[in-house]
Amino acid sequence: MFEKVLVANRGEIAVRVMRSLRRLGVQSVAVHSDVDASSMHVRQADEAVEIGSAPVADSYLRIDRIIEAAISTGAQAIHPGYGLLAENAGFARACAAAGLVFVGPSPESMDMMASKIRARQTMAASGIPVVPGTTSPVVAGADAHAAAAEIGFPVAVKAASGGGGKGFRVAFSPDDLDEAVEGAAGEGARFFSDDTVYLERYLEDPRHVEIQVVADNYGNVVHLYERDCSIQRRHQKLIEEAPCPALSDDTRARLGEIAIAAARAAQYTSVGTIEGLLVGEEFFFLEMNTRIQVEHPVTEMVTGVDLVELQLRIAAGERLGFAQSDIQVRGHAIECRVNAESAAKGFRPAPGTVAFFVSPKGDGIRVDAGVEDGDVVQPYYDPMIAKVIVWGDSRADATEKMRTALERMEINGITTLLPFHRALLASDEWREGSTCRELLENRGWLKSTDEWATSGARALSGKGQA
């Protein structure tokens, strides 16, 4: 195992990685921008190095400064967390060139999965079901119209390097298509420096299901079953749970087999996630995330496996210490992302200073936070400040535990999604295990979540609301 690891990230994931490092007896190095000098992840680290000014382009995306910080502090490896440089193959190669271990997959695997087009080609060639659509780029005009006519409307137009809802447009008819292609290409260029787009059949209200995979450097690959991430706004996740409440045992087994085959097709090592869309009993590969996921704690809660520790052990050259038959799912886990946002105002970001932060406590309750009393939620970065994760014997038990945890959680000084989560977990739609899409698209219901800002005592359902 390593003696010292630099964490090339910030916020709650940096704190989370440091927790596993501390348990393993490994020293941690934080990097930070000038405005993050007193942030929680810096306070938690054994050492810290400033790497630039507030904008991520001047700090957390500066590969040269991050590697220099690792070398100057004697770190042997770099853990990228999620987001930022986590899926940047160039960063992984720069680490190797500097004699540092990148805690993640090989750059070749990252390259293969970075382009959604190449990923679709790889999976389709391996017999893994993909959403019907193109496996080559399209451009606005006759090319796109011919492809869309073959797929059938509505079609989704996606940036090949997109993610997080960026570079995604839907064309409901031929009249919408050119604008959708140009819009997706423009966002792809702006956010990912890649204007390549492709087309897929647009699935109206699928479940978003993903399977956790783990692979070592010796050919051992296992899956840790699935998570349901269907509750999203603008294609960004808000609540996740494990296991998926809509899977039969046969489908669950089939998804595990698909995930292992996909990991092998990508020649994957480390911890990764196979994401897909579930329509009835049909599963379609969507993409592979070549990093730890935000929602990894729900898998940890139902399997008892520390996924960050696994990442570190695999990167250090260790073999998996277990087989597929050793992995069992016990109970049910739910995660709520607590963002500094106002759901009542269309999920508008709400940066500011946290005056008071109280985490709920109790058996089966876990809070992964990136802030404490007095910390500043900066406008430059992702607004997620904490995650509440609970475990229960059943989905109903976990739901009641989550509702209790959310009522006990207090965050003063800034607006957060706590009222939204309290309202949604009390809704009929959640209890019925739906994707809750009708609530998330209902502006009246979203505005009504303000009623939960001070109390969640009244059960609020979206049914029948305008």
Active site residue 291: yes
pTM: 0.92
Q: What class does CATH assign to 4-103?
A: alpha beta
**DSSP code, position 324:** G
- Parse the chain into domains and list their residue ranges: 4-103, 132-201, 207-452
Answer yes or no: same fold for 132-201 and 207-452.
no
Two tokens, residue 280: 């009835």
Instruction: Round to whole Å and give the CA distance between 210 and 285.
Output: 9
- Model pLDDT for residues 88-124, shown as the tens digit of each residue: 999 999 999 999 999 999 999 999 998 888 898 999 9
Whether 341 and 417 have beta carbons less than 8 Å apart is answered as yes
Instruction: Round to whole Å and give the CA distance between 237 and 232.
Output: 4
Mean pLDDT of 356-384: 95
In this structure, how many other beta carbons lie within 10 angstroms of the beta carbon of residue 8?
A: 31
Mean pLDDT of 201-205: 87
- Model pLDDT for residues 205-215, shown as the tens digit of each residue: 899 999 999 99
- Model pLDDT for residues 136-153, shown as the tens digit of each residue: 888 888 889 999 999 999
Asked whether the predicted pLDDT for residue 452 surpasses 90, the reply is no
Give the CATH H-level superfamily of domain 207-452.
ATP-grasp fold, B domain (3.30.470.20)
Nearest to 185, CA basis, from 138, 150, 147 = 138
pLDDT averaged over every residue in the chain: 93
Active-site pick, 16, 291, 337, 403: 291
Asked whether the predicted pLDDT for residue 157 surpasses 90, the reply is yes
Q: How confident is the model at residue 164 (pLDDT cuts 50, 70, 90)?
A: low
Whether 336 and 421 have beta carbons less than 8 Å apart is answered as yes
Two tokens, residue 428: 């009929």
- Model pLDDT for residues 4-34, shown as the tens digit of each residue: 999 999 999 999 999 999 999 999 999 999 9
- Model pLDDT for residues 400-411, shown as the tens digit of each residue: 999 999 999 999
- Model pLDDT for residues 269-319, shown as the tens digit of each residue: 999 999 999 998 899 999 999 999 999 999 999 999 999 999 999 999 999
Whether 143 and 129 have beta carbons less than 8 Å apart is answered as no
CATH 3.90.1660.10 fits 132-201, yes or no: no
